[in-house]
Amino acid sequence: MKREKPVFTGAGTAIVTPFKNDEVDYDALGKLIDNQIAAGIDSIVVCGTTGEASTLTDEEHRDVIKFTVEKVAKRVPVIAGTGSNDYAYAVDLSLHACEVGADALLHVTPYYNKASQAGLVKYFSKIADNVTKPVILYNVPSRTGCAIGIDAYKELAQHPNIIATKEACGDISFLVKLFHAVGDQIYIYSGNDDQIIPIMSLGGKGVISVLSNIAPAVTVEMTHACLNGDFRRGAELQLEYLELINALFMTVNPIPVKVAMSMLGMCTDELRLPLCTMSDKENEKLKKVLLQYGGKIK
């Protein structure tokens, strides 16, 4: 089956949703988007895990997608997180994202329900049947308790409107098997910043990144080196920035990256429960790492 071109190649930022006084801070979000694009980012991914979509109200979720599409103004592709564990809601939210101009839809495996592999195939296929923009799957079993297996991927890769997956399973052995099974039928993005180069060396098209919230130019350089066949340079950057990547995951994402962005004056570190701020010890550790990279973060 001939696939559509990928929605993007390189680095897509899983952008945070900044809050101020428990409201979405659209001024800050607009500045973050402009800064990302100025740094050369290849795509903006809005309302994903890092964007705290699970604590946005339905109205906020729709408004943040619409605002992002309008602010980006076709400068780069916008991928809207519209997944749910409720099929009807996922389709309704996806149709809204399509209507306001998102370029693709990110659909996480349905959480809590613990769907069977047959259920996952039916769920994703039916969503893809009923939306007008390409679907990118999002496999993150550590978050959802539900993983897409190889056989399910083989079936889903045959759907003409399912064009890619964000793989955050963390299992390189599984990923090798996945590329062998469907790597010529579906585009694969890394969903983990510490696995960008291994995944791209297997044929991955880039990353949907947390790191790029604070280091977009570095993440772009890392991925574009691989796209240009310079895996040595990509690997050098992967290793050079590994301590920063690890620091951004010292506790549950997006807590550390929001704290880091606050330390860098980019937005507040405000979160919504059940997420909460880090301990003083963790803050000091993160600050130390940021200072270590202070001259390099761009």
What is d(CA 203, CA 218) in angstroms, rounded to the nearest whole number? 20
Q: How many C-beta atoms lie closer than 10 Å to residue 164's C-beta?
A: 27
Q: If pLDDT is split at 50, 70 and 90, which confidence band does 29 have? A: very high
Q: If pLDDT is split at 50, 70 and 90, which confidence band does 297 have? A: low
pLDDT given for residue 33 in this prediction: 98
Q: How many C-beta atoms lie closer than 10 Å to residue 223's C-beta?
A: 29
Is 163 strand, coil or helix?
strand
Query: What class has domain 10-229?
Result: alpha beta
Evaluate if residue 268 carries a pLDDT over 80.
yes
What average pLDDT does range 166-177 have in this prediction? 94
pLDDT given for residue 295 in this prediction: 56
What is d(CA 18, CA 30) in angstroms, rounded to the nearest whole number? 10
pLDDT given for residue 60 in this prediction: 98
Query: DSSP letters along 249-270, please?
Result: TSSSTTHHHHHHHHHTTSS---
What confidence tens digit (pLDDT) does each residue in 133-154 have? 999 999 998 888 889 999 999 9
**Helix H or strand E encompassing 19:** strand 19-20
Burial class (CB in 10 A: 0-12, 13-18, 19+), 284: exposed
**Helix H or strand E encompassing 164:** strand 162-167
Residues labelled as active-site residues = 138, 166
Q: Are 211 and 193 a contacting pair, CB within 8 Å?
A: yes
Q: How many C-beta atoms lie closer than 10 Å to residue 74's C-beta?
A: 10
Q: Is pTM, for the whole model, over 0.85? A: yes
What confidence tens digit (pLDDT) does each residue in 60-111 have? 999 999 999 999 999 999 999 999 999 999 999 999 999 999 999 999 999 9
Looking at the chain, the whole-number percentage of residues with pLDDT higher than 70 is 98
DSSP H stretches of helix in 50-209: 58-72, 87-100, 117-129, 141-144, 150-156, 172-182, 196-201
pLDDT given for residue 110 in this prediction: 93
What average pLDDT does range 156-167 have in this prediction? 96
Report the interhelical angle of 87-100 vs 58-72 (nearest 10°).
Answer: 30
- What's the token pair of residue 272? 């919504």
